[in-house]
Structure 1
């Protein structure tokens, strides 16, 4: 690395002088950097918008699917039974009574002393119609537990301390109900069933004397599709009949419509916050600056297309969405009136749901056109802006090399000038000394 000795001959601060020249010559690069930063800010804002629009597209697509608003909820007349629904549930009602709960088989060995150990060399577990021969590595109870758990016999073994240095091995079925039933045989045959395997059972129409009372069984406490798309899970045996009711889920439908409007307004809010003009006041005065989306025709177009999708007439014959509680406000956002929507849903459930789905489909189309990862207008603009940022980065890099070369040239030039000036001063000093010598000789 070279050593800079500023102005040894000239007295000039050459480092500062070169720095000033380089600062001036770097102005084009500085402008490129500012431009790159501005474009990157735009890209960041567009990516944020694109993400929200893509989420709205997904939301609208889901709401527009056939049956998306065919929502039903199930309730029972007893807190001892819980009902759940799937997308294929329909309205209906049925009475039943829970007569048994499912049980998982638990079997235990006689007491075994830890010192004496396991007294048998083999035992056989029959599970699912198949025999599994257990041959522990030794008489240690842990060996027995390990051997049982390694067989895959549908039984889990555990060592349980029962006091006085004695233990029992507990065998538990991995499946509940009769499906998990197993038997264990050994030379002594002294195993005890603590809990017998048992299926849960319910009886349909328990108060009727005209139908068969043969119970319906389940290896768990859950009875799947008791009604289409409706399952029940029993927590206790019931002593009186339980009524299962399945009705349209108006609250769920209302929530879906409300969230769709909220999703649309989320886009509008995002755009508005980045379009608004802000005013700043300080000691230098007052200045105003427009938001990053101000004047962006594409963003304005996306905003308008989503607004149109949500607010244009819907149905056949076409009517305003405001008739079902979805309306446009004076500020250009959407508003959801839950009371009005509930009234429309009660009056015409199918028609109201169809209108919501039509709106959802239009919103999905508009949002997808903007945010599609291949052809979306926002996506395309982001890709173009990113390409420009990369191009600017290359140009900035080229300027780095150009400026470095220019600085090196200036340093060589000023170094040469200092050297030349230093030589001239040395020569001047020599001449002065010679002339002084001549003058002294003359005087003598």
Structure 2
């Protein structure tokens, strides 16, 4: 920290003089800093615009795909049956009955204190004939259950308390064996013995042991279409969800019902209308943002004069081009028909509006034409937005990268000026310090000369 004292000899306020000179010297750097602030503000605004346009490119691109407007609702007249419509669904109705629900097989052994065989070897035969052997490390029922669970045979084992042995008083347990998947394909048969024993017919089926039982049989869920008619047709599923009962429609059931269930699939006009409105809203949000950043603000300075300040995008061609491209994409005719026919209109202030009633009426009159027009408009918007926001080739992305390079260069120049100004201040401080020294020397010489002159003898008259 400098401890210099101003003008001991000269009486000048050298610090103030140096500070004033440095302010003048720093004008070029100040201009660079102002330009840096403007560039930083511009980059921030441009990045916000680019994010909005990129999001629009994504949403409009999805709407332009066949699935974007191929929207349907699926409903039933039963609380135990739900339906979902996806891409490819076709409008229509169908009746069916829910005959059975899918379930997994559950088998329990008889009461045991330990596994009756040593070593405990079991063989599981799946519904498709697959044979797998499981061997436990000991006759402990816990070890047997763990071995089954770790073997990956499609069966889980649980040890369940079953009271006390009346003869010995020892705790009894059962092993509950459950298929890990529902449906008939999850059925299994469990044997005590090796696969060779099963083949030879000498293995013991667990269900033949005293007290063993099959609690639940494996079965598929089943629907019957057109039940009670000559066209009756059954449909099965290993789960309680049926895919493809109708094209693009899945049905989930929670209870069997002999009463016919009616499934209805219809075009989802509400969702299509909402998608069109969302597209317009997203475009309008971008146009409004650009307009706000292009606006010029006026204010009054301390002297009462008017100060005009431009926005971040005032005079910027990149933002202006994006604005025009989006307006053209959403408002240009489709096959010679104005989008206003479908409720999409451009206003005098440059914004876009969406009239749900007009769109809904057009959908009711000619849904295929309206959906086709919406797809075309969405694709044009997606193309325009992608052309502006693409990470590598987008006009906005390239503009941002260019301005970031400018900011880097400005920061380098400002740093260089810091060094120059530091050197300049040091030079000025040395100059004024030398001035004080020179003045002190001159003052000393003046005092010496004055003393010498005063010591000279005075001539007599």
TM-score (norm 2): 0.82
Report the CA distance shift for 1:410/1:341 in structure 2 as closer, same or farther (over 3 A): same
Match runs of 1:97-136 below 5 Å: 97-112=97-112, 120=117, 121-128=119-126, 129-136=129-136
String of CA shifts for 1:7-31, please: whole Å, max 9, x gaps: 5954766666544443432221122
Match in the other structure for 1:200 = 221
- The answer (yes or no) to whether the contact 1:306–1:367 under 8 Å persists in 2 is yes
Match runs of 1:370-381 below 5 Å: 370-381=388-399
Report the CA distance shift for 1:184/1:424 in structure 2 as closer, same or farther (over 3 A): farther
Match in the other structure for 1:358 = 376
Say whether residues 1:237 and 2:256 are aligned partners.
Answer: yes
CA distance in 2, matches of 1:145, 1:12: 99
Secondary structure at 1:295 match in 2: coil
String of CA shifts for 1:139-183, please: whole Å, max 9, x gaps: 555433332222111122334456776544433222111121222
Match runs of 1:6-405 below 5 Å: 6-7=5-6, 10=9, 18-66=18-66, 68-112=68-112, 120=117, 121-128=119-126, 129-161=129-161, 167-186=173-192, 189=206, 190=209, 191-208=212-229, 210-213=230-233, 215-278=234-297, 289-315=309-335, 318-405=336-423
Report the CA distance shift for 1:281/1:241 in structure 2 as closer, same or farther (over 3 A): farther
Matched residues, number: 430
CA distance in 1, matches of 2:21, 2:213: 98
CA distance in 2, matches of 1:227, 1:378: 46
Secondary structure at 2:151 match in 1: coil
User: Structure 1 residues 4-13 or 260-269, which shifts more?
Assistant: 4-13
CA distance in 2, matches of 1:124, 1:284: 99
Match in the other structure for 2:168 = none
Report the CA distance shift for 1:109/1:20 in structure 2 as closer, same or farther (over 3 A): farther
Could you tell me how far 1:273 is from its partner in structure 2? 2.5
Could you tell me how far 1:225 is from its partner in structure 2? 0.7
Unaligned runs of 5+ in 2: 165-170, 194-203, 457-461
String of CA shifts for 1:323-346, please: whole Å, max 9, x gaps: 121112232211111111111111
String of CA shifts for 1:301-339, please: whole Å, max 9, x gaps: 321221122122222xx1221112111223221111111
- The answer (yes or no) to whether the contact 2:120–2:139 under 8 Å persists in 1 is no
- The answer (yes or no) to whether the contact 2:6–2:15 under 8 Å persists in 1 is no
Secondary structure at 1:398 match in 2: helix
- The answer (yes or no) to whether the contact 1:106–1:193 under 8 Å persists in 2 is yes
User: Structure 1 residues 86-95 or 340-349, which shifts more?
Assistant: 86-95
Report the CA distance shift for 1:283/1:16 in structure 2 as closer, same or farther (over 3 A): closer
- The answer (yes or no) to whether the contact 1:9–1:419 under 8 Å persists in 2 is no
Report the CA distance shift for 1:37/1:138 in structure 2 as closer, same or farther (over 3 A): farther
- The answer (yes or no) to whether the contact 1:96–1:202 under 8 Å persists in 2 is yes
Secondary structure at 1:183 match in 2: strand
String of CA shifts for 1:338-385, please: whole Å, max 9, x gaps: 111111111111111121122222222222232222332222222221
CA distance in 1, matches of 2:6, 2:340: 81
- The answer (yes or no) to whether the contact 2:224–2:232 under 8 Å persists in 1 is no
CA distance in 2, matches of 1:321, 1:171: 64
Unaligned runs of 5+ in 1: 440-444
CA distance in 1, matches of 2:176, 2:228: 41
Could you tell me how far 1:291 is from its partner in structure 2? 2.5
Report the CA distance shift for 1:413/1:67 in structure 2 as closer, same or farther (over 3 A): same
User: Structure 1 residues 319-328 or 186-195, which shifts more?
Assistant: 186-195
Could you tell me how far 1:118 is from its partner in structure 2? 5.1
Could you tell me how far 1:196 is from its partner in structure 2? 1.6
